[in-house]
């Protein structure tokens, strides 16, 4: 390889690269969204009391293990972010997996409000049937079925 003056093209480099000065600090922060991009709206989740319902604490490893297998790790991460935001009384952007969380009953909608339960519910029989058989057996053993 050979050296070239700044701004010149390294023709024999693989792949060929343009040697130019780095962008000015802060230039990346000025990047504009395309006109059709719509930022996700903010929501204010509220914590719903458990009222004696059985379930797991949101930070329980069983939530990550079994609910991740059912709804996916992204949805579980969104659930944990919603729980933290509700506990702290903060807003956050509407989660990408909100529809999955609503469908599975992990969060509830009350008008425009999103209610996040203090405890993540146990998997019901239909949800358990959707797990892999070995994971289903492990879940039932851990719950004492």
> Which tens digit of pLDDT belongs to each residue from 18-67?
666 566 666 556 667 788 888 889 999 999 887 777 888 888 999 999 99
Query: Quick one: tokens of 59?
Result: 């930070």
Give the dihedral of Cα atoms 108, 70, 41, 59; nearest 10 deg: 80
Tell me the average pLDDT of the chain: 84
CA–CA separation, 104 vs 97, rounded Å?
Answer: 11
Show me where the domains of the chain are located. 42-49+56-143
How many CB atoms lie under 10 A from the CB of residue 100?
19
CA–CA separation, 145 vs 141, rounded Å?
Answer: 6
Q: According to the model, what pLDDT value does residue 145 have?
A: 77
Q: According to the model, what pLDDT value does residue 16 have?
A: 60
Q: According to the model, what pLDDT value does residue 21 have?
A: 57
């Amino acid at each position: 390889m050979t050296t070239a003056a700044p701004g010149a093209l390294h023709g024999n480099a693989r792949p060929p690269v343009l040697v130019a000065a780095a962008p000015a600090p802060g230039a990346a922060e000025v990047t504009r969204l395309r006109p059709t991009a719509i930022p996700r709206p903010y929501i204010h989740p509220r914590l719903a009391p458990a009222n004696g319902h059985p379930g797991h604490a949101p930070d329980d490893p069983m939530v990550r293990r079994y609910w991740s297998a059912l709804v996916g790790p992204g949805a579980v991460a969104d659930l944990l972010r919603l729980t933290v935001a509700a506990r702290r009384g903060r807003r956050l952007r509407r989660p990408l997996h909100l529809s999955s969380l609503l469908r599975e009953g992990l969060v509830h909608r009350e008008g425009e409000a999103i209610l996040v339960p203090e405890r993540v519910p146990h998997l019901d029989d239909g949800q358990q049937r959707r797990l892999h058989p070995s994971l289903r057996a492990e879940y039932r053993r851990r719950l004492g079925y």
